[in-house]
Structure 1
Amino acid sequence: MKVLLIFPPQWTPFRPYLSLPSLTAYLQEHGVNVVQKDFNLEAYDLLLCKDYLTKIGGQLKSQFAALESKESLAPGIEQKLYSDLFMAKSLVPELIEKVESAKATYRDPVNFYDPDKLAAATHIITESLTSIALAHYPTSMGLSSFDMPSFTGSFASLKRATENRLENPYIELYEQHLLSFIDNEKPGLIGITISGESQLIPALTLSRMLKSQGVKAHISIGGYVVSMLAEILPKYPDLFNEFFDSAIINDGEKPLLDLVRHLEQGKSLDGVPNFIFMDAERIKANPKETPENINCLPPPTFEGLPLNEYFSPDPVLPVLSSRGCYWARCAFCTHSLAYGMTYQIRDAGKFVDDLEILSKRYGVTHIALSDEGTSPASVGRISDEILRRGLKVRLSTSIRPEKQFTPELCRKMAEAGLREVYIGVESACDRVLGLINKGTSCAIDEEVLRNIHEAGIWDHVYIMFGFPGETMEEACQTFDFIEKNTGIIRSLGISNFSVGRNSRVMKHPSEYGVTLPDAGDDLDFKLYIPYQTSEGLSDVEGWQLTEDCYAKVAVKLEGDVLLEKIGHHYDKGCILPQYLSHYESTDPFLSTVVKVKPPATPPRRTINSKSRLALKPGVTMETLQFNLRQIRKNITDGAKSVVYREPTITLCEPGQARFKRVADNAAEILKLCDGQNTLAQISQKLARRFSVPPFVIERDAIAFMQPLYDEGYVTFQS
């Protein structure tokens, strides 16, 4: 039996996700014919191309024209949509021109390491995704996100979202580029991974389309999201009738292999562990079994994946040295549940064997440990083994701030090639850490951060605001902690608390002063649940503190400005480790790279009658039926005012997201500014047309054009 494993959109395109390579290696070791397909990566190239963006540009123009034809625009959503559509449809020509070079920058071994070029490429790609989403309004999408507001969390809204062609861009994409591939492969089993909430709708859209077309293969879903929904899935028989045949919970190796064998032999599926399926009109959830011994698993295989097509000049390959979390007690966290609350450590010798195999087989030096948290003892053993063998690799991993991360251990980690660690500090208030059940203290956190920094390892620190019961004063302690330690914290990941499905806070809300909505089934398919607190910071205050910390504190860190610029938050395991390795011998902490170059300020030129001017490239002039300036003011002020038709001439530079209203007489001058005619010649032409003395028009033209030049809307032509 052939097995086809699919990784669907929407996920980051920077490196392979580990689930498919791990499952493929395990199945192949047991003689199963497996094809792994990263359609998430393929989707980026299909969406981010000239042809598709040209089509999107036409859709945006049609949507904007529909609003332009109205007599008035309602406050709020309609006015914002008008503004967004205008900017997007104006920007699309630039996106069409630059999108291929933007993708090429990510894959270029020289341009990738120029932060200015990488930032420009990131801007083009993110704006392209924004425009694509706007053409499917109200959908939104980015390099790590996909959201359809019409999907509210209920099963009914999930069904609507997976068949809504206007809002769901993946229906057409699957029809044109994936379904025929699946048909040609003729698999007996199709496995679809759903690792993040951003993949839920795209993945179930695909599985539903396959079922509706009568694909003969057994369709099974798995991954983190499926494990989080394990108690929800059996409530909905229609899921198993319309979307898929089965679901695998927790680690997938043993259940998937057993499923293959049972299907091949035509046996009942009752014996497949960690498995939910429909049998004779009844949904059954088979008993769970312990996962396969981590030391019996082969290293992941990336054969069949186009490693040179990821958005990266050199592949960064993921691998696990452990499964699960050795602490597994934090009240907000749900990651351990995906492993069935088990914890396994791979033998250090076997793990370093994995590193050697991956390094030699794929020619890579960048390895990202995808562990939930690598323990001090484990990372010490791994470092010893790497040093004993003299293996040249560069690693990154996640850790808990444990006092066992001594100066000696941190120096050994650095010597073994560990260049970056991600540390969950969460809070700098010991009382809040106690509420979280973090098992650490502010003093330990600071000590570990100092040891890591002094060893020459980049520390990316995660903090969180708004855990139930946290006060504003306690949140300010975290602000103070960061400012105090700007010399030893390289960069930050900042978030606000949310109630994750199956977290301890969700299961025992009263213990944390949390009230959850009595929503019935309406939120069954949401991974994060809205909540209210009886004391401490509210959800809204947590969001505001997150924004304030980025705006006021993170900017003081040496590394954060650069990392925000190159988009580190899209994939912490790819871009930053490569920068650290690339500049390792010349600038190990990126101290010179992070310095933002001030924009060059050209000398101011004075416009006169001999000046030849033209609109700056990228600037357009257009007559709009509504006053965009008033609309933007309404949006900013939250005004509830209706706007009525008021034709206005508008200059727009969509690449800089700015515009300017111009008077009718100024527009007449601009129409003739072609870079060939001087202002004196333009004035003569307009004087004849309007029967006005030339010197009057020339005087006004200079007065009009000087501020437009100063603001960068027009430019001199030699």
Structure 2
Amino acid sequence: MSSSGLVQIDGLSPIRKEDRKTSKVMLLFPPEWVPTAPYLALPALTSVLREAGHTVVQRDINIEMYDHFFTMEFLIWVKGRLGMQLKPLQDKEKAGRLTEQEAAQKAVLEEAYAVDVFDLAQRSEDAKLIVRGERFYDAEKLERALNTFREAMQYISAAYYPASLVFYPMESNLGYRPGVSKEVFACLDDEQVNVYRDICNQLVLPSVSKEKPTVIGISIGTQMQLMAGLTFCKMIKESFPDIHVVVGGNVVTRLQEEWAKHERFFTEVFDAAILYEGEHALLWYIEAVNGQRPMESVPNLMYHASGAVQQSKEVYTEKTAALPLPDFEGLPLDHYFVPERIIPYLATRGCYWGRCTFCDHGQGYFDQYRGMTAQHVVEQVTALRDKYQCRHFLFSDESYPPALFKKVSQLLVDRNVGIKWTTLIRFEETLQDQAVWDLAAKAGCCTLYYGMESANERVLNLMDKHAKKSVIQNNLHQAAKAGIWNHVMAFYGFPGETRDEALETRQFVIENQPVIHSVELFYFVAYRHTPMVRNPDKFGITIHKQEEYDLPLDYYYTLNEPVGISCLDAMQLCEEFYKNDFSPWAVRVNSREHVFLYISKFGTNKLPQIYAATKDGATTAEGVSGLVTWPMAIGEGDEGKEGMSRVVSHGVG
């Protein structure tokens, strides 16, 4: 039993096959996520539901949205929306009644309306052919395609003024704060800025009308998906009140205390929320909807009954080795913005280290780390390879355990599986043999993502990472020598870190640039479920909670003593790094999966063609969209310690 009063259970008794009632279930993955590969949540849920006999329609609305955006049909539709908004503003200007804000909107609309939409649409359609075909591997053509997508997104944004819709990285902003419930509810009904209302009308509701599911599940993995996911929920409930709408995902679990305080979400937006892992909880919820078990018996569940929000006291965690193979059937595997199929795979749940004081990813799971044997992993990867004709895999684990890393690599080589893969990994003393890295490369490992966080050992010990600087350096050199691309993530401003210690991280990165192929520097953010926020005095910080932020995922903090750099200092150091030091790492091929495929194609981590270059031959960060271009806060974690979350992983549930 946990301190929260929740009780872990082994599971509910299965219903006999002859007594089962089967349903049609629709699973939706909302924007915004990188459109380069499926997210693992839906296939993981689908496999369990289909195994139980339910009919499942799974829809990745994220990739469908981007595919839809970059079409002649949609861009001409946007042109019409621009004209409809522009005409009344021009009339108001003639009447002398135009406000300053309306004048700003009119200027944006006029600029967009003057764009040759037919040319933009043709270039956008060709850009999709580039990212899905052999021209992808010509870096100049790929860069041109990505810039065309950004140009189209800017054009679309004008029609939803003042929203800013961005292709990649995921930084779209509708002008409402997702941490403020009052603004969330306002955004859901805002026809002007909420582009997801039109996406729902055009892509989601027609499908719901056609399929007529009993239950719709929407997986919301990150805060960036919150507005889109909740918009879909509300519009589906309004149009189809008899359909049961249930939400799940990492961010839903993180906000579980807040959902209970806002009954309105359960009466207006969705019917139920599944916390923690969702495969069997969703199955049992469907059975409860079908009247085959009491709703109150379903673990991991929040729902509305008897005029109040109810929460199950029981929690179920999945037995990873007993789960069926993720089922990707029905997803548009050839529509992602890559020329080769890429599939995510998860061998472990949770983090085997699980001690970092800045990290709250464990909040998405109820219990500790679990994993499968290397043999099981390789058998499942081989089965996925054969079933979906796919040879590129994202191993989406929080941090790949060293023993599993070695064993899986050996089995992949011994069985000649012939795949390429990438994953997140810790710097480890047990990985200081060059033969380990050579074996991983031979097994198909192309790129690795490391959460270095700091190069100062005192600060690393404060974080409870306990990595040695010499080990970090050795791992990087050995992996690079084996031909693996090293992506390093670090951040400034851990409470107590001095300016000199922060600059030690900067200097380490610069000095080791030949073996650090891409880099991200963030600033520290106090995420709400971290050990630091739970014990602020221990770390010398004061947490400042603001009443209006009633859906918080992080908090503003200040240092109790003037020791170390402040949050603002850390942000400034980040800005200085990207302004002054980032040039050697500025790339024009800017997503993890794109770099992964380049290394797979060309067989080397020396890829000068993907870096931006100035006229004198030097690289530059100016105007370049880097692997992730601008400082993102560390600590978030749906995919590898959530500061990496927008870059890397594929959580489940």
Category of TM-score, reference length = shorter chain = 0.7 to 0.9
Q: 1:591 to 1:46 in 2, by over 3 A?
A: closer
The two structures, once aligned, show a CA RMSD in angstroms of: 2.5
Q: Is the 8 A contact 1:22 1:300 kept in 2?
A: yes
- 444, 452, 459: which one aligns with 2:486: 459
- CA offsets, 1:551-579, max 9 Å, x none? 333322xxx33xx31222xxx2x111111
- 138, 158, 164: which one aligns with 1:114: 138
Q: Secondary structure at the match of 1:590?
A: coil
Which residue of structure 2 lines up, in the alignment, with residue 180 of structure 1? 206
- 192, 195, 198: which one aligns with 1:166: 192
Which residue of structure 1 lines up, in the alignment, with residue 622 of structure 2? none
Distance 2:616 2:540 in 1: 54
Distance 2:263 2:141 in 1: 51
1:583 aligns with 2:602: yes
Residue 595 of structure 2 aligns to which amino acid in structure 1? L
1:326 aligns with 2:352: yes
1:303 aligns with 2:303: no
- CA offsets, 1:606-659, max 9 Å, x none? xxxxxxxxxxxxxxxxxxxxxxxxxxxxxxxxxxxxxxxxxxxxxxxxxxxxxx
5 Å-filtered alignment, 1:389-408, equals 389-406=415-432, 407-408=434-435
1:494 aligns with 2:521: yes
Distance 2:611 2:30 in 1: 38
CA positional deviation for 1:320: 0.5
Residue 414 of structure 1 aligns to which amino acid in structure 2? A
CA positional deviation for 1:529: 2.8
5 Å-filtered alignment, 1:471-550, equals 471-520=498-547, 522-534=548-560, 535=562, 536-550=564-578
Q: TM-score, normalised by structure 1?
A: 0.77
Q: Is the 8 A contact 2:486 2:518 kept in 1?
A: yes
Residue 141 of structure 2 aligns to which amino acid in structure 1? K
Q: Is the 8 A contact 1:405 1:451 kept in 2?
A: no
CA positional deviation for 1:596: 5.0
Q: 1:29 to 1:411 in 2, by over 3 A?
A: same
Percent identity between the aligned chains? 31
Q: Which moved more, 1:590-599 or 1:159-168?
A: 590-599
Residue 589 of structure 1 aligns to which amino acid in structure 2? N
Q: 1:405 to 1:91 in 2, by over 3 A?
A: farther
1:100 aligns with 2:116: no
Q: Secondary structure at the match of 1:161?
A: helix
Which residue of structure 2 lines up, in the alignment, with residue 437 of structure 1? 464
CA positional deviation for 1:137: 2.3
Q: 1:276 to 1:92 in 2, by over 3 A?
A: farther
CA positional deviation for 1:171: 1.1
Q: 1:135 to 1:542 in 2, by over 3 A?
A: farther
Q: Is the 8 A contact 1:57 1:92 kept in 2?
A: no
CA positional deviation for 1:79: 8.6
Q: Is the 8 A contact 1:482 1:553 kept in 2?
A: no
- CA offsets, 1:95-144, max 9 Å, x none? 33411111221111x21111111111111112222332232123222232
Residue 577 of structure 1 aligns to which amino acid in structure 2? F
CA positional deviation for 1:58: 4.9
- CA offsets, 1:306-364, max 9 Å, x none? 11111111111000011110111212212121122421111111111111111111111
Q: Is the 8 A contact 2:480 2:605 kept in 1?
A: no
Distance 2:288 2:153 in 1: 42
Q: Is the 8 A contact 2:589 2:610 kept in 1?
A: no
Distance 1:482 1:454 in 2: 17
- CA offsets, 1:208-232, max 9 Å, x none? 1122224312111000110111111
- CA offsets, 1:371-426, max 9 Å, x none? 00001101111112112211101110100111111222112111111111100001
CA positional deviation for 1:242: 0.6
Q: Secondary structure at the match of 1:37?
A: strand
Distance 1:106 1:69 in 2: 43
Residue 487 of structure 1 aligns to which amino acid in structure 2? P
Which residue of structure 2 lines up, in the alignment, with residue 566 of structure 1? 589
Which residue of structure 2 lines up, in the alignment, with residue 410 of structure 1? 437
**Which runs of 5 or more structure 2 residues have no equivalent in the other structure?**
1-22, 618-653
Residue 3 of structure 1 aligns to which amino acid in structure 2? V
Q: 1:312 to 1:445 in 2, by over 3 A?
A: same
Which residue of structure 1 lines up, in the alignment, with residue 153 of structure 2? 129
1:27 aligns with 2:49: yes
Residue 54 of structure 2 aligns to which amino acid in structure 1? V
Which residue of structure 2 lines up, in the alignment, with residue 239 of structure 1? 265
- CA offsets, 1:233-282, max 9 Å, x none? 11111111111111111111121111122222343211111111112112
1:139 aligns with 2:163: yes
Which residue of structure 2 lines up, in the alignment, with residue 49 of structure 1? 71
Residue 74 of structure 2 aligns to which amino acid in structure 1? Y
Which residue of structure 1 lines up, in the alignment, with residue 282 of structure 2? 256
Distance 2:454 2:402 in 1: 21
- 580, 583, 588: which one aligns with 1:555: 583
Q: 1:86 to 1:327 in 2, by over 3 A?
A: farther
Distance 2:446 2:453 in 1: 22
Query: Relative contact order (alpha carbons < 8 A, sep ≥ 6): 1 or 2 greater?
Result: 2
Residue 293 of structure 1 aligns to which amino acid in structure 2? K
Distance 1:597 1:463 in 2: 25
Q: Is the 8 A contact 2:174 2:193 kept in 1?
A: yes
Residue 42 of structure 1 aligns to which amino acid in structure 2? E
Q: TM-score, normalised by structure 2?
A: 0.85
Q: Secondary structure at the match of 2:609?
A: coil
5 Å-filtered alignment, 1:197-346, equals 197-346=223-372
- 347, 367, 380: which one aligns with 1:354: 380
- 2, 5, 15: which one aligns with 2:37: 15
CA positional deviation for 1:470: 2.2
CA positional deviation for 1:517: 2.8
Residue 451 of structure 1 aligns to which amino acid in structure 2? Q
Distance 1:91 1:507 in 2: 52
Distance 1:597 1:466 in 2: 31
CA positional deviation for 1:45: 1.9
Q: 1:54 to 1:147 in 2, by over 3 A?
A: same
Distance 2:127 2:616 in 1: 23
**Which runs of 5 or more structure 1 residues have no equivalent in the other structure?**
602-718
Residue 231 of structure 2 aligns to which amino acid in structure 1? T
Residue 106 of structure 1 aligns to which amino acid in structure 2? V
CA positional deviation for 1:89: 4.5
- CA offsets, 1:685-715, max 9 Å, x none? xxxxxxxxxxxxxxxxxxxxxxxxxxxxxxx
Distance 1:84 1:180 in 2: 32
Q: Is the 8 A contact 2:178 2:226 kept in 1?
A: no
Distance 1:447 1:154 in 2: 45
- CA offsets, 1:71-91, max 9 Å, x none? 89999x889767755654455
Distance 2:47 2:178 in 1: 37
